Structure formats: C-alpha cells, structure tokens
Amino acid sequence: MTMDSVTQVRDFPDRSWADDGPTRGVEALVEAGEVLRFPYLPFALIESELKFRDPRWADGKAKNISLRWPGGAMRGAAGSATELAALQAMITRYAEQSEAFALRLFPHYRGHLQRGNTSFRPIDVAGRKTSWRKDDTRLHVDAFPSNPMHGTRLLRVFCNVNPSGRPREWRVGESFEAHAQRYLPTIKRPLPGSAWLLERAGITKRRRTEYDHVMLQLHDRAKADAVFQQASPQARVDFAPGTTWVVFSDQVLHAAMGGQHMMEQTFYLDVAHQQRPEASPRGTLERLLGRELR
Ligand SMILES: [Fe+2]
C-alpha cells in the first residue's frame, strides 16, 4: 500500500477564529475526507477558566461535559452554581467561535449548519476502560447504534486545550471509499422488519435506514477486526496544544490514542447541502452498490 491511500492532513496558517482569517471556501477539501489542521489556532481561556482543565469538574458518570442546543443546558459537570455558570460560559464561547469559524471555512453551508452538542473533555483518553464497540482507540468512522443519521453529516471542530504540552494523538486510516470496498461485499441487508422493531423497542431514536445499517456495520466490522486495526494503511497524527482541527467524522477513519483536555463542537449538515453530495459516505456507498440506500 502507498501512503496516497491514507487520509490527508492539511495545515493552515489561521490565527483567528473570526472573519479576518485567511482560509475560506475549503468545502471541497473537507468533503474529500481530508483533516483540516490549524496549528496556530488556540481556544483562549481567561485566567479564571484555567482551573477547569481538571477531571474533577466532570461528574464521574459521563465521559464529557457537554452543552445541548438549542438552550445550551450543561450536563456531566459537578461544582457550585457560580462555578458551573462560568464553565458553561466557557463552553458556550467555544460553540460560538467554532460556528463562526466553520461558516467562514464553508460559506456554502451557511443557513444549513445545525449546531449539535458542544463538549469539553477533561478526562485522559488512555484511562477509559470500555467495550470493543465503544473503544475509540480503534480506527472507525462515527456511527451510533441508537442515533440513525439518515445521511446527515457529522462535521466536527476540535481544539486541544491541554495545559502541559501533551498532544492529542490520533491515528487516521484509509479513504472512506477504500474502507467501504473492504467490508461492503460481506455486509448483508438488514432483516425485514428489523428497523421497525428496533424503533418500536426504543433501541433507536428513529428508524434505522439501510444507510444507517451499513454505516454501523462499517463501524463495528472495523473495530472488531484486529488485522485491519494493525495492518491497514494508516498514519499517526499529533495535534499539539493550541491546535484546532476540522473533519467530517462520519467519513474520516480515526482513532484517539491519547491526550487530555479537548474542546469539541459537532455540527449537522444535510447531505443535500454539501457542495458535492455525491462525495458523501452515502453518495459513495450508493455508487459502489449501484442502488439507493433508504
Ligand atoms: Fe470517533
């Protein structure tokens, strides 16, 4: 295998989240499955927020502290009312800055980018003990058993806010198309009636379409395949503190190997509002299968 088949990481010189930064109109790059990395774009904390970079602010139940929109209610944090309000204000500022940033990078998505959860992850990646299916140190594309996306894209803006120089360590893998070709021949269609049953039983929040079925199969097959994890085309990528990066996480094969203290903003984008919907995972899967996935 050549390195050409591995996810591309592209660096940009931006030093501002606001409209005055140089990079704009890069929809084609992110839609092609590249990782857009901004090594000089820190999320600045004010003096009184520095103390929040400590796992003690997490309530111990959730792995993240997160805000849900609309409304911005905070979950997963523990502290006094005053402290929680300050923490919420910090995470809200990240939501606003990353949204302004995403709309500058991707003006084509204006009016269509829907703000999902904003999260602050003060807990060390390495310390998480979990099942293989939830183990994000294995290469995967994002897909969730309970939350069928129906083709809606997951655009994520991450920033490493670690105070002690530790990078966020990722592995990135092969292109989505290569990945789909690897597993598609062995993925069977869902059993008739299974989507209805899953929804009826409350296992899925809405109907699991065949697209969702295939995406979940890709996620599970990859994580369960030790040979793939070890021997497939891949590269280690470090995101130093002060680095921001942007990816479609339902398309880029990624694994979080280490790091602590990260900000993350999720956006949803209807596939129809991409610049090139045919470049999406759904477009790619439908082309490879020669039929629609509904
Ligand atoms: Fe992931």
| Buried/exposed 194-210: b ≥16 CB within 10 Å, e otherwise | ebeebeeeeebeeebbb
- For residue 80, the CA-to-ligand 1 centroid distance in Å is 31
The pLDDT of residue 192:
84
Give the pLDDT band (50/70/90) at residue 128: low
Does the pLDDT of residue 3 top 60, yes or no?
no
- For residue 144, the CA-to-ligand 1 centroid distance in Å is 10
Does the pLDDT of residue 235 top 90, yes or no?
yes
Q: Is 107 helix (H, G, I), strand (E, B) or coil?
A: helix
246 compared with 125, residue with greater pLDDT: 246
- For residue 91, the CA-to-ligand 1 centroid distance in Å is 20
The pLDDT of residue 222:
98
Does the pLDDT of residue 2 top 60, yes or no?
no
Does the pLDDT of residue 37 top 70, yes or no?
yes
Mean pLDDT value of segment 107-112: 98
Mean pLDDT value of segment 62-75: 93
Using a pLDDT cut of 70, give the percent of the chain over it: 98
- For residue 48, the CA-to-ligand 1 centroid distance in Å is 31
Q: Using an 8 Å Cβ cutoff, are 262 and 256 in contact?
A: no
- For residue 287, the CA-to-ligand 1 centroid distance in Å is 24
Q: At what angle do helices 210-224 and 176-183 cross, to 10 degrees?
A: 90
Mean pLDDT value of segment 178-202: 91
The pLDDT of residue 4:
54
- For residue 134, the CA-to-ligand 1 centroid distance in Å is 9
- For residue 249, the CA-to-ligand 1 centroid distance in Å is 6
* Average pLDDT of every residue of the chain: 94
The pLDDT of residue 1:
44
Mean pLDDT value of segment 182-190: 94
- For residue 219, the CA-to-ligand 1 centroid distance in Å is 9
For residue 287 the two structure tokens come to 């082309």
Give the pLDDT band (50/70/90) at residue 67: very high
Lowest mean pLDDT across 32-36, 139-143, 193-197, 255-259? 193-197
- For residue 25, the CA-to-ligand 1 centroid distance in Å is 25
Mean pLDDT value of segment 187-197: 88
- For residue 123, the CA-to-ligand 1 centroid distance in Å is 16
Mean pLDDT value of segment 279-290: 97
Mean pLDDT value of segment 236-255: 98
Does the pLDDT of residue 125 top 90, yes or no?
no
- For residue 256, the CA-to-ligand 1 centroid distance in Å is 8
Mean pLDDT value of segment 87-91: 98
| Buried/exposed 219-248: b ≥16 CB within 10 Å, e otherwise | bbbbbebeebbeebbbeebbbebbbbbbbb
The pLDDT of residue 120:
97
